[in-house]
Homo-oligomer: A and B are copies of this chain.
Amino acid sequence: MDAYRAIVTKRDTRSFTDQAVADDELRRVLQAGRMAGSAKNLQPCRFVVIDEPETKQKLAECGDFSAWIPTAPVCIAVVIPEDGRDFDAGRAAQNLMVAAHAEGLASCPVTMHHKECALDVLGIPEGHRVAIVVALGHPGEDPSSRGPAAARLPFDDYVRRNRW
């Protein structure tokens, strides 16, 4: 898929089929995340790939709006140091998700509001935190997961010139 098209057509959606994500697809997605730039090239992000049903079930309890996690064939937890930059996590996660979209996969970020829960479920040592979990899989048919996220404010509301 063309890069510009992939970027501007990517929507955060969370309706998935049961079809597994192929290893080569997943590897490209992860490679995309790995290659994201970071401040001072510190490379603060690590990715925990979660495909065990029982682990997904436990992880679903670590967020306020994450009960749907088990419906995703694969989740990728983006882990950073406790004092790491969420900006860099956002860069890596966007790479993961745009690359997934280019592979024909749907994806959606989900926040782990209960930090200790996520660290415990994934066996992550102290000094780290889960910046985000990216759920992905082949897109399902539920159109309700597509509409609202497509809405954007007008271009001219987004952009100013030289001064606010």
Contacts and interface: CB of A to CB of B under 8 A. Distances in A.
Interface of A: 1-12, 28, 30-37, 39, 41, 43, 45-52, 55, 79, 85-95, 97-99, 101-103, 109, 111, 122-125, 131-132, 148-149, 151-153, 155, 157-164
Contact of A41 (B92, B125, B148): B148
A28 B16 CA distance: 30
Contacts of A98: 3, 7, 95, 98
Contacts of A37: 10-12, 97, 109, 149
Contacts of A3: 1-3, 5-7, 98-99, 101-102
Given A32-B8, A37-B10, A37-B149, A46 B158 contact: yes
27 contacts: A3-B3, A3-B101, A3-B102, A7-B95, A9-B35, A11-B37, A30-B158, A30-B159, A34-B155, A34-B158, A34-B159, A37-B109, A39-B109, A46-B159, A47-B158, A48-B161, A48-B164, A49-B160, A49-B162, A86-B86, A86-B90, A87-B131, A88-B90, A91-B91, A94-B95, A122-B162, A122-B164
